[in-house]
Structures are given as structure tokens and as C-alpha cells.
Structure 1
């Protein structure tokens, strides 16, 4: 168990190092001078050179990379090329917003997908199971931004129950915060639930065909009790993998949803920074998203060890 934990931590650290190199290299090869962009095309060469020196852009790439990584590790990523404002507070505020959105969307996806997928598997030959399967197919075909537009049309424009856009921190007005969170979280959660439901159905169907479950039913356990007691734990392993992948999809999908609902999260900051060519902010946001995805994969590996005792033994 300890050996596997150390292995997973080593893989996580190596993946973070490789990701940081790739992100930095990608930004470094982009055409254009960040200092020239910040000052405008009419700026003098001396002003551009002074700004390059101020931000350390005149140093070798290796020195720039090490300085950038040091800033991320010490939570002091420096200042924006465009506004000259500290990046750290912006990232902290925007990350909090995105975590609320993605976290709530994932909770909604799980609350819908796990019971519905199990029900679809148990009743896969009955009309109710076929109807749920057809509805999940429709959900898979609908992108999150379209689901958001439909929700705005119905609940904000048509019924007037919820605000169409905006964001209020929970400590300022909890009620308004929840009202503004409902539709963007549903936009992400419903679409992801449709995807996860298919995998839950497949995993549970595989378990239902196993010999040990037939044996449990033959010994007198009712089918539902046999599934709950012996089957769902085994079905959970592939489902956890899918949930991890869908969480990464939620992080990427939140970029568009934040634009649709005018939410000041990491996605909006990323798009604004790309438009302004504020490359240092783009670099930081992309790295944070990469770190989040890698951390989720690491946590999934830890969950595997808890779910499947066979993985706690020796070996690779």
C-alpha cells in the first residue's frame, strides 16, 4: 500500500514537471513580443526594452521557466503584462468561482447518473429502461452551452424564476448566489450525467451477468439486495474512472458556460487574457487547469486502492 502510494506521488510530481515544461514551451514559441503588445505598436524601443527587463523577458528561457515555477510553488505568480496587477489574487478569486461551478455540476451529474444508470441496467429489457436509455442518448447529443441557452430561455426569459447571468459570492447574498448557480451548474451537470449514465449502465450490466451475483440470488437474496450488497462495489471501479475523465471535461466545459452566464471564473479569465495577449496569465491559468486534472487522476488512483483490495498488494 505504501509502495503504491509513493509510486503514485512520484508519477504525479513527474507529470506536473512535464506539464509545466510543455505549457511554458508552448507559450514561449508563440509569435509576438508581450512587452510590445502591452505598450502598443507606437511605443519606443527603449520603453519596450525597459518593460522586458522589468518582467524578466530579457533573461534566458531556462531562467524565465525556473522563475515562473518558483512563483507558482510559492503562490506568488507575479504581475500581469497588461494591467501590471498581481496575478495571485485574481487566480484565487476566479478559481473559487470555478470550483463552485464545477463541483456543483459534478454533484448534480452523480446524483442523476448513478441511480438512473443502475435503474437502466436493472430494467434494460423493460419499457422504462428503454425510455431512460433514449433520453440519455439525447442528453449526450446536447452540448453544455446549448443546454445553458435552453435553460435561460425557459427559466429566465420565459418564467422569470432565475437570473439569466451574473455572479454573487455566497458570503454576500447566499440566496442570490444559489439562484445564479442553479442554471450554469445544471447546464454542466445534466449533460455530464447523460454521459456517465451510459457507463454506469454498462458497468452494472456486466456485474449482473457475473456468476457470484447469480449465486447470491440462488441463495435467497432478492435481486436488488444482491446487487447492493455484492455488485455495486465491483461496478464502481470503471465508474470512478469515467467520473475522473468527466471531471476534466467539466473543467474545460466551464470555460464556455462561464461565458454564457457571464460568470467571472477561470474560464472567463483565460478567454479575456487570450484576447488581450496577456500571456503570463494565460500560462498560469492553463497550468492550474493541468494541475487540477492531474490531481484528480491521482485521487482516483487512491480511490482505486480503497475500492479494490487486490490493488493493495505487492507488484506494480
Structure 2
């Protein structure tokens, strides 16, 4: 198991390096001069050259890349080309907001999907199972941003129970923070929960057809007890893979949801920076998202080793 874990850490590190090179290279080949964009088209060549030198844009590609990576590793990503403010504090504040949104959305998705998926599988030939299956299909068909707009229309505009948008830090006003978190989390969690429900249903159905579960029932265990004791752990292996994909989807979906609910997260920062052509901020945000996806995949591989003993031996 230790050897496998070391291999996965090595793969993670290589993936991070490759991702950083691709992100930096993609931003470097985009048309336009960041210094010219920051100063405007009427700026003199001398002023543009001075700003390029100030931000290190006149250095070779490799030197710029190494300086950027060093800034990320030391948590000092530099200064914005447009606002001339430190990027680090912005990223820390925005990342905290996005983590609240994505984390709560994933928890809600699991709370909804696990019992519903199991119930749909156990009762797949009964009316209740068919009704739940139809509801999950409808949830899969609804985009997160549309779910957000519908929730705002009903609960914020129509009933007036919850605020339609905005963000308040939890330390400043915990009650208002929770109220503002409800609708965006529901928008993300319900849609992703509907998708996850379909995979859990499929995984549990596969387990229900296994011989060892039939044997457990033949020995006197009730179907649900047999499933809980002997089946859910095996059903969890493919579901963990889907959870990793769902987390990546939630990160992307949060970009849109943050716009719908006017939430100052990483997604909003990314879109604002793209509009302002603040490429260094765009570069940093994209790399943070890539790092988050790669880290999630690494954690999933590690969880595999914990829930599936067959993966702990051998050389692969």
C-alpha cells in the first residue's frame, strides 16, 4: 500500500507540473500586451516598456514561468496588472467563499443522493422507485443556473423567505450568512445530487445481483440488512469515482452560480479578470482550480486503497 501511495503522490506532482506549464503557456500565447492593456492605447512606448520591466514581462519565458511558480509555492502570487493590488489576499478571500459553496453543495448532494439512490435500487420495480427515478431524471435535465433562477423566483421574489443574492462572511453575521447560502447551495446540490443518484442506483443494482448477497439473504438476513452489511462497501468503489467528477463539475458550476447570486468567489474573480484582461489573475485562478481537481483525484485514489482491499497488494 505504501508503494502505491508513493506512486500516486509522484503522479500528482508530475500532473501539477504539467498543468502549470500548460496554463502558463496558454496565457503567454494569448494576443495582446498586458502592459498595454493596463496603461491604455494612448500610453507611450516608454511607459509600456517600464511597466513590462516592473512586472517582469520582458524576461525570457522560462524565467517568467519559474518566477510565477515560485510565487504560487510561497503564497505570494504577485500584483495585479490592472488594479496594482496584491493578488494573494484576493485569492484567499475568494477561495474561502467558493469552498463554502462547493463544500456545502457536495454535502447536500450526498445527503440527497445516497438514500434516494439506494431506495431507487431496492424498489426499482415498485411505483415509489419509478417515481424517484423520474424525479432524478428531471433533476439531471435542469442546469444549475436555471435551478438558481427558479429558486430565486419562488423563495426570494415570490415568498420573500430568503435573500435573492449577496454574501456575508460567517464571522460578521452567521444568520445572514446561512440565509444567503441556502439558495445557491440548493441550486448546486440538488442538480448534482440528481446526477449522483443515478450512479448510486446503478452501483447498488449491480451489487444486488451478486451471488454473495443472495447467499447472505439465503442465510436469513433481511434484504436491506444484507445490503448494508455486505453490499454497500462494494457499491461505493464506482461511486467514489463519480464523486471526484462531481466535485470538478461543482467547481465549474460554481462559476455560473456565483454570477447568478452575486457571490464574490473564485468564479466571479475569474470572469471579472477575463473581462479586464488581467491575465496574471486569470492564470492564478485557473491554476488553483486545476490544482483542486488534481488533488481531488489523488484523494479518490487514496480512498480506493482504503475501501477496496484488492488494490492494496500487487505491483500495479
2:99 aligns with 99
Once the 2 structures are TM-superposed, how far is the Cα of residue 136 of structure 1 from its aligned partner? Answer: 0.6
2:188 aligns with 188
Paired residue secondary structure (1:272): helix
* Structure 2 residue 266 is matched with structure 1 residue 239: no
Once the 2 structures are TM-superposed, how far is the Cα of residue 60 of structure 1 from its aligned partner? Answer: 0.3
Once the 2 structures are TM-superposed, how far is the Cα of residue 315 of structure 1 from its aligned partner? Answer: 1.4
2:174 aligns with 174
1:11 aligns with 11
CA–CA distance in 1 between the matches of 2:105 and 2:79? 32
CA–CA distance in 2 between the matches of 1:6 and 1:297? 15
* Structure 2 residue 310 is matched with structure 1 residue 310: yes
CA–CA distance in 2 between the matches of 1:244 and 1:61? 34
* Structure 2 residue 110 is matched with structure 1 residue 115: no
**Structure 2 stretches lacking a partner, 5+ long:** none
RMSD: 0.3
* Structure 2 residue 288 is matched with structure 1 residue 288: yes
**Structure 1 stretches lacking a partner, 5+ long:** none
Once the 2 structures are TM-superposed, how far is the Cα of residue 314 of structure 1 from its aligned partner? Answer: 2.3
1:132 aligns with 132
Superposed CA offset, 1:238-283 (max 9, x none): 0010011000000000000000000000000000000000000000
1:150 aligns with 150
2:250 aligns with 250
Superposed CA offset, 1:56-90 (max 9, x none): 00000000000000000000000000011000000
Paired residue secondary structure (1:228): helix
CA–CA distance in 2 between the matches of 1:164 and 1:247? 25
Superposed CA offset, 1:102-158 (max 9, x none): 000000000000000000000000000000001111000000000000000000000
Aligned residue-pair number = 316
Paired residue secondary structure (1:194): helix
Superposed CA offset, 1:143-177 (max 9, x none): 00000000000000000000000000000000000
CA–CA distance in 2 between the matches of 1:37 and 1:107? 42
Paired residue secondary structure (1:167): coil
Runs of 4+ in 1 over 2 A off after TM superposition: none
CA–CA distance in 2 between the matches of 1:6 and 1:166? 43
CA–CA distance in 2 between the matches of 1:105 and 1:302? 22
